Amino acid sequence: MSRVPAPITRLPKVGTTIFTVMSQLAMEHQAVNLGQGFPDFDVPERLINELDKAMRTGQNQYAPMPGTPALRDAIADKTLACYGVRPDPATEITVCSGASEAIFNAVAAVVHPGDEVIVLDPCYDCYEPAIDLVGGVAVHVGLDPETFAPDWDAIRAAITPKTRLLMINSPHNPSGAIWSAQDMATLDALLADTGIYLLSDEVYEHIVFDDARHESALRYPGLRERAFVISSFGKTYHCTGWKLGYVVAPPMLTAELRKVHQYNTFCTFAPAQAAFAAMIRDEPEHYQELGAFYQKRRDAFREQLGRTRFRALPVPGGYFQLVDYSAISDMNDVEFSRWLTIEKGVTAIPLSPFYAQAPQGQRLVRLCFAKSDATLAAAIERLEAL
């Protein structure tokens, strides 16, 4: 027997993520994987060409710690075009190795042991581990279980003198709900006379439907002065494996975030930064038309789901579709997702892992429609047989 003691875990509540578990199960059973949220169609050709060009012209060494000047300038101009404010590239924009790194950096920058962080359930699974690792306390507040809108009375009740940070996500993963202008105004008023910081996870910012406007925290001066606003190139440009994102934050917050970033990854994949700078500058129509691109997929997928026994919930934004399977089974969502993968050959993600405590009797799973027509057709053919 080993004489080396077992480590005292820093993350006692964490195992392998549900996304990894379900994707592995999908591979084992050759299921159509509508679980993990990655597109299975091509990256823009221009982006590939610019990446190749950057590598072949020697841009293969360390990038500047906060990101290349060209990319930060492009982000600043894009932010002005989208939200009416141009952050200072030198002091307010930081390029990170994906939005997940950005989230960890932001939490570590401002949360100290014993500080409370309000998270809104269902929430993405990296939020609470980031809080736990710095000794913070995650305070879970449920969104409305049907509409996934914020419960303002519950949020107000959760705020204490120990509250240091509030984390929001719009468009929302897993539900696709989006925050309205009224929601953002309410949030602005709620935080106005507090010392609470805001983390606004906006990785699906360009995937909003039905002529809705993405209500970025950057549009609201009172929120902007206290917010880390996080974006993802992987979600916008169909290249999740490249792991690039960025944070826009006021100078005092950016300074603290960069202290963490420089000792976490220091810098981010240099050739991709050159490629994204070129895409943002020369092909803005890609992100401008992304909502329409995905709305066609959403509408087609929902029409196909109408031929099944699933009940599709509304999807205002993002590329996930929640479905209620109550008419099919009374299994809990984890059991149902395993059964659907193993027995029926389609992989979904159960909703309960996004909660500290899921609503009693909830029968919802998440399907990703950021897939090719062939992939979605193959999945629907199997789901129709249920």
The CA distance from 84 to 5, in Å, is: 56
**pLDDT under 50: residue ranges of the chain:** none
pLDDT tens string 308-347: 999 999 999 999 999 999 999 999 999 999 999 999 999 9
Looking at the DSSP bridge assignments, the partners of residue 351 are none
pLDDT of residue 13: 85
Interstrand relation of 116-121 and 163-169 (parallel, antiparallel or unpaired) = parallel
The residue with tokens 């993802």 is 232
Task: Dump the DSSP string for 215-262.
Answer: --GGG-HHHHTTEEEEEEHHHHTT-GGG--EEEE--HHHHHHHHHHHH
Domains of the chain, by residue range, sit at 18-43+288-384, 59-283
Our CA dihedral for 124, 129, 134, 138, rounded to 10 degrees, sits at 60
The CA distance from 152 to 182, in Å, is: 12
The CA distance from 216 to 168, in Å, is: 11
User: DSSP 3-state assignment of 235?
Assistant: helix
The residue with tokens 């932001």 is 106
Looking at the DSSP bridge assignments, the partners of residue 245 are 96, 232
Can you identify the CATH homologous superfamily of domain 18-43+288-384? Aspartate Aminotransferase, domain 1 (3.90.1150.10)
CB atoms within 10 A of CB 377: 14
pLDDT of residue 36: 84
The CA distance from 206 to 235, in Å, is: 9
CB atoms within 10 A of CB 257: 23
The CA distance from 25 to 326, in Å, is: 23
Cis peptide leading into 359, omega within 30 of 0?
A: no
CB atoms within 10 A of CB 213: 11
The CA distance from 288 to 286, in Å, is: 5
Q: Which amino acid is at 113?
A: P
Name the CATH architecture for the domain at 59-283: 3-Layer(aba) Sandwich (3.40)
pLDDT of residue 38: 85
